[in-house]
Amino acid sequence: MNSYQSFTVWIFLLGVFMGVYLFFEYLGFSTSRVFSYVLLLMPIWLPLITFFLFYETWVNFVRYQFNRKAGRTTLEITLPQEIYKSPVAMELVINQLFQTAGIDNHVQAYWDGKHPPVFSLELVSSHGQVRFCINCQPKFRNMIESQLYAQYPGIMIRELDIDYTAEIPENGDGYESYAFHYKLKKADAYPIRTYFDYGLQANPKEEEKIDPLSVTLETLSSLGRGEHMWLQILIKANKGYDFKSGSLKKTEDWKKDVKKEMEAIIEGAKARSGEAGGPPQLTEGEKDNLKALERSLSKYAFNTYVRAIYLAKEENFDGTKIGSMAAIFRATDDVARNSLGIIWDTNTPWPWWQDRGGRKTARWKREEIEDYKRRSYTERHRGDTGMILTTEELATLFHLPGSVVLSPNVQRIGSTRGGAPSNLPI
């Protein structure tokens, strides 16, 4: 529960207390008797009012303990000199990350804290050197490695003994930072411009490829000595929830919303065509949207949070890099369909009386670094609720590029790796 929600709960509690007080006042009781009745009835009304606050706190606590016991590890992927695979290969890898946890009973949900695991897809630039990383629970390491080697035989994967984030102090002491949270600008059902829209699923010749990831990697490669930029995509399998799986409110997966959007497009075309007295006619844009929505229904979907952080020592901090970070996903924008935009940043321009001395901004910067290191996410306000992305969209944002990405700062293996000849003498 974030600070905004906690504040709302306590305001509600205060309102209930005042309501009970005024009710007895209205009945004509004296002030002393009013307080006596309120205190006497507290064992009845207080548990009812605080139940939701307790429930949220308890569920978060047991899930935190579950995650702590499971642990985290970071896998770094080094690219070969040439990759001829399309982003479809990475989509097949991400398909395997759709892990729903399989909660079998209430004990697992409310006592053990079992819940779908969170995976972190990360693009990292340290001193201008760009790396691809996946952070996960150790039990998924072998599965992820086998899937990556199956799709990209020439790559090299190593488990980091010390996480790359350890270079930055936990509280960011001595570093200046700036962080963004991103979210879809329109309904989650509408996809962004994906590799499919760029024709990469057809696996064209390398010199004919237009890779939307090129913009992201060039931005990361532009950093100098003492600068860091971390891009993190946290994903968790999207699924329906009920009381058994740890939710007081029954919810369905996102496919219902996609179907509603498709129906709305068709009904709008029918109404428009009916007014003209002819058969229903879809515009080219509506046809394109329906095809994209229908394709999304065939994909796995993930609850997704996306953040980017730029960090540098105070003497190396370059404010001009912030604008580039803000537009880091611009190549995936589809103005008619959907795009990723900034929903929150650490330097929100608060009035002086709300953030005296910049203490709130400084706290947020520390918390963002800590959240990144823990691979967790704090929703900063009501609209900062993450989004739902399909495997196709995620593979567009995170995949291993070929030589179409010319940046020398993207780390690649110096020579081609392969198996030993079968006829070597023994």
116 and 160 share a domain?
yes
The pLDDT value given to residue 158: 95
Domain final residue pick, 47, 70, 93: 70
Residue 264 lies in a domain: no
219 and 296 share a domain?
yes
Of 26-40, 214-228, 246-260, 317-331, the range with the lowest mean pLDDT is 26-40
Distance CA(235)–CA(134), nearest Å, equals 11
Domain final residue pick, 70, 87, 104: 70
- Mean per-residue pLDDT, 217-235: 94
Domain that holds residue 106: 72-249+288-397
SS3 label, residue 201: helix
How would you classify residue 299: left for phi > 0, otherwise alpha for psi between -120 and 50, otherwise beta? Answer: beta
61 and 89 share a domain?
no
107 and 6 share a domain?
no
Distances (CA, A) of 99 to 146, 324, 378: 16, 34, 22
pLDDT band at 390 (very low <50, low <70, confident <90, very high): very high
Task: Quote the tokens at residue 326.
Answer: 């803000």
Residue 175 lies in a domain: yes
193 and 328 share a domain?
yes
11 and 119 share a domain?
no
Residue 336 lies in a domain: yes
Residue 159 identity (one-letter amino acid): E
331 and 379 share a domain?
yes
Looking at the predicted structure, is the pLDDT value of residue 418 above 60? no
35 and 142 share a domain?
no
The pLDDT value given to residue 37: 62
- Mean per-residue pLDDT, 53-65: 82
Looking at the predicted structure, is the pLDDT value of residue 7 above 60? no
29 and 109 share a domain?
no
Residue 355 lies in a domain: yes
3 and 85 share a domain?
no
Residue 257 lies in a domain: no
Mean pLDDT, the chain, rounded, equals: 85
Looking at the predicted structure, is the pLDDT value of residue 1 above 50? no
Looking at the predicted structure, is the pLDDT value of residue 245 above 90? no
The total of structural domains in the chain comes to: 2
The pLDDT value given to residue 30: 60
> What pTM was estimated for this model as a whole?
0.85
Residue 418 lies in a domain: no
Distances (CA, A) of 373 to 130, 186, 216, 367: 18, 29, 21, 10
> Do residues 316 and 299 lie in contact, with contact meaning Cβ atoms separated by under 8 Å?
no
222 and 329 share a domain?
yes
> Do residues 255 and 296 lie in contact, with contact meaning Cβ atoms separated by under 8 Å?
no
Domain final residue pick, 29, 52, 70: 70
Looking at the predicted structure, is the pLDDT value of residue 312 above 90? yes
Distance CA(262)–CA(256), nearest Å, equals 10
30 and 86 share a domain?
no
The highest-confidence range among 4-18, 63-77, 238-252, 410-424, by mean pLDDT, is 63-77
Residue 370 lies in a domain: yes
The pLDDT value given to residue 416: 57
CB burial readout 2-13, b (16+ within 10 A) else e: eeeeeeebeeee
Residue 403 lies in a domain: no
